[in-house]
Amino acid sequence: MTKPVTRRHLVVTLAAPAVLALLVGCAATGGAVVSAEDDQAALLTRAKAYWGLIQKNDRVGAWAYEELSKDPNATLEAYLKRGGIAFDAVEVRGVRSIEGDRALVNVWMRYSLPLLRVKKQEAVAEDEWRRIGGVWHHVQRRSVMFPTAQ
């Protein structure tokens, strides 16, 4: 025996998933619904601040922007040992993409590798960022030669 479908039953059946998705979305963003423009603006602000610190060679300040800083196994000391690149100029050129909690930012840079006596090289990089706890963090690139190195 089938029950007739009432208007109330139909509304509850169709609205429940939408309400649940909205609540989950609010919980993921700390209770606030963030527009795509605000999300991009927050990412660009963080990226510009991070790259400004890197250009000034303020690696201690930049540590707070790194995804690694959220890893209990990573240390500031180990992070400071990485490097060897001097950035002469850096320009964050915009957000390439945001997909969930991952993003790519276009960054132009002019850099030198003093130990190798290489000067004034230019590149445009796709800089990876990850949202952790509602805040964007820079993702350290893994070494091409040593992909398991941290």
Note the pLDDT tens digit of each residue in 107-128.
Answer: 999 999 988 888 999 999 999 9
Where do the structural domains in the chain lie, given as residue ranges? 1-33, 35-138
Cα separation, 61 vs 76, in Å, equals: 10
Note the pLDDT tens digit of each residue in 33-74.
Answer: 668 889 999 999 999 999 999 999 999 999 999 999 999 999
Residue 33's pLDDT is: 60
Q: Strand ranges (DSSP E) for the chain?
A: 86-99, 102-113, 118-132, 135-138
| Residue 131 · residue 122 · CB < 8 Å | no
pLDDT at 79 over 80: yes
Q: Strand ranges (DSSP E) for 42-132?
A: 86-99, 102-113, 118-132
Question: If we measure between CA atoms, which residue out of 41, 47, 74, 53 comes closest to residue 138?
Answer: 47
What pTM did the predictor assign?
A: 0.70
In the CATH hierarchy, which top-level class contains the domain 35-138?
A: alpha beta
